[in-house]
A and B are shown apart, each in its own frame.
Chain A
Amino acid sequence: MSTATRGGAERAATLLPVLRRVLLTRGPLLLFAALLLYLSLASSAFLSMANLLSSLTQAAPIAIVSFGLAAVVMGGGDDVVAGGIDLSIPAAAALATAVVSDQLTNQGAGVIWAFTLAVLAALIVGALNVLLVTVVGLTSILSTLAMYATVVGVIRVYTGNRRITVDDPTMLFIRDARPLGIPMPVWVMFAAALAFWLLLHRSAFGMRLQAVGGNQEAAATSGIRPRPYIAASFLIAGVAAAVAALALVARGSGSSPGIDERLLVDMVLATFVGAAFSRRNIVTVPGAMLGAILVALMSNGLILIRVDNSWIDGFKGVLILIVVAAAALQNRRRT
C-alpha cells in the first residue's frame, strides 16, 4: 500500500516536469489545434476547399512579412525585450503597397518600375532601422515601434488617407490566376518561403546570423562581426515587406488605409507561434509560414461562426500574450 502510493508520487514527480515542458514548448500549438477543431465542428463551411484556399490566400502577406520578422529575431536573439524585433515591417509593407498602387494608377508607371520604387521605399525604412539599432544603439522594439508610427503617418500624407484602386492587368492576373487550382498569391508565398528558407537556414550567412543572435560573444570569438549581420537582417525585413506588397495589392486590388494594423498583430502572432513547430523551439521560416496559415484559418473560422470583428482583434492580442509568456517562462527555466 505504502509502496504503491510512493510509486504513484514518484511517477507524478517525473510526469509533472515533462507535462510542464510540453505545455510551455507546444502549448500554443495545442491551443490552436483545439480552436481549429472547435471551428471545424461549429461550422460546416470551415473545412470546405473554398474556405481553405481563401485562408491560404490571406495567409500569404502575413507569412511573407513574418519571414522578414524571423530574420530580425534570428539576428537579434529571441529575448523579448533586449532581442531583435521589427514592428515596422507591416508599415513598410503598407508603404510599398501605396507606392505600387499610386504608381500604377495615378502615375501611369509600368509594373517593374512601380515595384522597383516600392522595394526602394521599403529598403529606406529598413536602412533607418539599421541606423537606429546598430549605430544609435536603441533597443529594436522601441525604435521599430516609433518607425511604425512614423511610416504610417507618411502613408496617410502620401495617399491623403484614401483608397487607391488598381486595375493593372498584371496585378489582376496575380489576383485571379490559379495555376494547378491554387491561387497565385499562395504561389508567391511558397516561392518566398523557399527563398527565405535557403537564405536563413541553408546558407553560411543564415548560420552566422543565428550565431550572432544566439550568442554575440560566441560569434565574435569565431571571427564573425555581429553588426553587419544585424544590419543585414533589417534590410532583409525591408525586402520581405516589399514582396508582401505584391500579395497585398493583389488581395485588396489596390491600397487601402489601415491594412498595416491587422497585419502587425497577425505577423507577431504567426512568427512566435511558429516557433512551436521547430525542434529547437526557435523562430524559423517554415514555422512562420505554418503560423501564418494557422492565424488566417483562425480569423476566417471566427468570421464563419459569426464572431463580431471587434472581438477578433482582442482575441488575437490575448493569444500573442499567451505565446510570448510561454516563451518567456521557458527562457527563464533555461537559465
Chain B
Amino acid sequence: MPRTSSGPEPVLEMTGIDKAFPGVQALDGAQLSILPGEVHGLVGENGAGKSTIIKILAGVYERDAGSILIGGSPLEDLTSQAVHELGVRFVHQELHLVPHLTVAESVFMGHELSRSGLLRRREMRRRAERFLSERLGAELDGEALIRDLGSAERKLVQVARALVDEGARLVVFDEPTAPLASGEIDRVFAAVERLRDQGVACLYVSHYLAEITRLCDRVTVFRNGTDVGSLAQLDEHSHREMIRLMVGRELGQLFPERSSEPGEVVLAASGLGDDGAFSEVDLEVRRGEIVGVAGILGSGREELIDALAGLRRIRSGRLELVGRRARLRSPADALDRGLALVPRDRRNDGLVLAMSAADNVNLATLSEIARTGWILRDAADQQARRMVDQLDIRPAAVDRPARLFSGGNQQKMVLARWLAADVDVLLFDEPTVGVDIGAKAEIYQRMAEVAERGAGLLVASNDTSELLGICDRIIVMVRGRIAGVVQRGEVELDALIALVTGGDAAGDAVGAGRHAEDAAEIGEQDR
C-alpha cells in the first residue's frame, strides 16, 4: 500500500548509511524505510549492498555513518541483542537446522523451555505445533525429525524459530525461496502473507523479481551501495522499472572483440540431470565458441558446471566430448577426455598456493616434461616461462610461490596450466570474481584468445553483464532447468536479467521486435 509521509511511523528507518571495506565503498548514503504491516522488497544486483545493509542491521558489521531508528527510537550502539529486543528477527538464507532434531526441538533451539533444569518437552511440542499452525498455516508434527521434512517445511520451521518467542515487529527474509522447488514456494508465501495480516512487517530480499511483484507492497532498489528508487503498487509493469533501476550502468570497454568461426562440436549434452539440482539440460559448445551459463544461486548453474567437470554425478542424459560419449567419475576422467575446469575458488581449488608459479603451471602436463618419472628441470622451466610470457603473468617470476601473486594473476596461472595441457573444452566458474577491473579486462582477453585457438569455452557466472559481454550464446537456468537461450546481440541486459530472475515479463522481452535496436546499441558499446 502506498502511504504518504504523514502516514504511520516506520518500523525501521535507516538513513545515510555508509560502510567501506578495504578497496570498496559497499554502502554510500543508503536509505531504507519500512512501514508497519507491509511486505517490503529489497532488490539489486550482486554487490549492490543489499546483504551489507542487512548485516549492519543484524549487528554483524558496524556502520561507518548513518542513523538507524527502530520503532522511532534511535540506536547508537547496534548489537544483535538490542535489535532482537526491539523486535527484529532474521530468517537466514541457509537452512540452519540439525537433521536429527525434532520440529519442536528445532523451533525452540536457543530459547528452550525448562522447569527446574528439565526440558518441558510436551509444552515445547504443543507450542511449536500451535505456532506453526496458527501463525504460519503449517500443520506439522512436533515430534517429526527435520530430516524427514520437505524443504518448504524446513523453511517454515526456521521461520517459526525466529518468531516463536513473540514480540516480532519486523522479520527480515533473506532469499527465503532460494533452496525451494517451485511447487513449495506457495507455502512460504502463504506464511509471509499471514504474518503481514497479523501486523508484522516483513523485509523481503530476493533475486526473483516475479516473487517481489507478487508478494510485496513496496520495493526499494539498490545499486552501487545506495538506494536508487522505490516503487509502490507493484504490477507487471514494475518489472521493467525495477530492472532499469538495478542496471543503470553502461557496458564499457571491458570486453574484447570476438570474431572466431565456430568449428566442430566439442561438448554436447542432452537431457542431462543430477539428483535434483538440475534436469533436462541440453547444450552444445563448438570449437572457437564461448557459451555462457546464467542463473542466480540455487538455479542449478554451479551444480551443472561441477557435473560437467566430473565433480558431481550425472544421473540421467547423455554427455559427449569431442564426438565420443563420456561418463565422468572424477576431474581426472574429464581431463583425459580433454575437458578442464577453472574453478570459482581458485585459491582453494585451483592452485597449490605453497608451490611455485612454474610448478602450478606445469601440474597438468608433468608427463610431457618428465622422462621415466623424473621431471626434466629445463623442459619444465621452459614451458613455465613460455606460458607466463603468453599470459603476461606478473611478476614474471616463475619461482615465486603462487600465494604471492594477485587474484587476477593467480587466475591467469590456472588458465596457463590448461593452455599448456592443450584441452578441447574449458569450463569457467565465476572467472573474475574478486579480481579488479583491469585484471578482468585482461582475463576476458585471454579467454577470447583461448577460444580463437580452437578450444570451446563454457562460462558460468553470476554477473550477467559479464556473460553478455563475452559470450556468443547464453543459456539461462531457472530452478534447475533451461529457461531460455539467447544469442549474442539479441538481447539487452535488462531482458537477460528478467529471464535470469524468472520474471514473467521475460518472455515478452526476449525476441520482441522493439529490442532489436537496443541490441544493436549493445553491440556498439562492446567496441
Q: Which residues of A contact B (CB under 8 A)?
A: 198, 202-204, 206-208, 210-211, 214-215, 217-219, 221-224, 279-282, 334
Contacts and interface: CB of A to CB of B under 8 A. Distances in A.
A223 B110 contact: yes
B118 A211 contact: no
Contact of A221 (B96, B111, B121, B145): B96
Interface in B76-110: 90, 92, 94, 96-101, 105, 108-110
A215 to B, nearest CB: 5
A334 B109 contact: no
A214 B114 contact: no
Nearest to B145: A280
22 contacts: A202-B121, A203-B117, A203-B118, A206-B119, A207-B101, A207-B119, A210-B105, A211-B98, A211-B101, A211-B109, A214-B101, A215-B96, A215-B97, A215-B98, A217-B96, A218-B96, A221-B90, A221-B92, A222-B96, A223-B111, A280-B145, A282-B100
B315 interface: no
Contacts of B306: none
A225 to B, nearest CB: 10
Contacts of A208: 109-110, 112
Contacts of B119: 202-204, 206-207
A203 B117 CA distance: 6
Contact of B99 (A198, A206, A214, A217): A214
A48 to B, nearest CB: 39
A202 B118 contact: yes
Contact of B109 (A198, A218, A279, A282): A218
Given A202-B119, A210-B98, A211-B101, 16 more contacts: A206-B119, A207-B105, A210-B100, A210-B101, A211-B98, A211-B109, A214-B99, A219-B110, A221-B90, A222-B111, A222-B161, A224-B109, A279-B145, A280-B145, A281-B100, A334-B147
Contacts of B90: 221
A334 B145 CA distance: 14
B86 to A, nearest CB: 15
B110 A214 contact: no
A262 B421 CA distance: 54
B98 A222 contact: no
Nearest to A215: B98
Interface in B137-162: 145, 147, 161
B437 to A, nearest CB: 33
Closest 6 CB pairs of A and B: A214-B98, A222-B110, A218-B96, A204-B112, A280-B100, A222-B109
A68 B101 CA distance: 21
A218 B94 CA distance: 9
Nearest to B100: A280
A281 B114 CA distance: 25
B100 to A, nearest CB: 4
Most central of B101, B105, B161 by chain A CB within 10 Å: B101
Nearest to A223: B110
Most central of B100, B108, B114 by chain A CB within 10 Å: B100
Contacts of A210: 98, 100-101, 105
A119 B105 CA distance: 33
Nearest to B58: A221
Nearest to B91: A221
B100 A214 contact: yes
Contacts of B100: 210, 214, 280-282
Contacts of B92: 221
Interface in B168-217: none
Given A202-B119, A203-B117, A221-B92, A211 B147 contact: no
Contacts of B112: 204, 207-208
Nearest to A78: B100
Most central of A203, A211, A219, A224 by chain B CB within 10 Å: A211
A54 to B, nearest CB: 35
A4 B96 CA distance: 46
A330 B117 CA distance: 34
A47 B121 CA distance: 39
A214 B112 CA distance: 16
Nearest to A77: B98
A87 to B, nearest CB: 23
A222 B99 CA distance: 15
A1 B382 CA distance: 69
A218 B118 contact: no
A218 B147 contact: no
A309 B119 CA distance: 45
B110 A198 contact: no
Interface in B106-134: 108-112, 114, 117-119, 121
Interface string B260-300: 00000000000000000000000000000000000000000
A323 B99 CA distance: 21
A114 to B, nearest CB: 29
Contacts of B121: 202
A204 to B, nearest CB: 4
Given A203-B119, A334-B147, A218 B114 contact: no
Contacts of B105: 207, 210
A275 to B, nearest CB: 10
Nearest to A282: B100
A334 B117 CA distance: 34
Contacts of A202: 118-119, 121
Contacts of A222: 96, 109-111, 161
A191 B337 CA distance: 63
A208 B105 CA distance: 10
Nearest to B92: A221
Contacts of B94: 217
A215 B117 CA distance: 24
A280 B144 CA distance: 10
B109 A207 contact: yes
Contacts of B110: 208, 211, 219, 222-224
Contacts of B111: 222-223
A203 B114 contact: yes
Contacts of B109: 207-208, 211, 218-219, 222, 224
A215 B109 CA distance: 11
Contacts of A279: 145
Most central of A203, A221, A282 by chain B CB within 10 Å: A221
B117 A218 contact: no
Most central of A203, A210, A219, A222 by chain B CB within 10 Å: A222
B74 to A, nearest CB: 24
A273 to B, nearest CB: 17
Nearest to B98: A214
A217 B474 CA distance: 36
B118 A198 contact: yes
Contacts of B147: 334
Nearest to A199: B117
Nearest to A220: B96
Contact of A218 (B97, B108, B145): B97
Interface in B395-434: none
A217 B93 CA distance: 12
A199 B97 CA distance: 22
Contacts of A224: 109-110
A221 B158 CA distance: 11
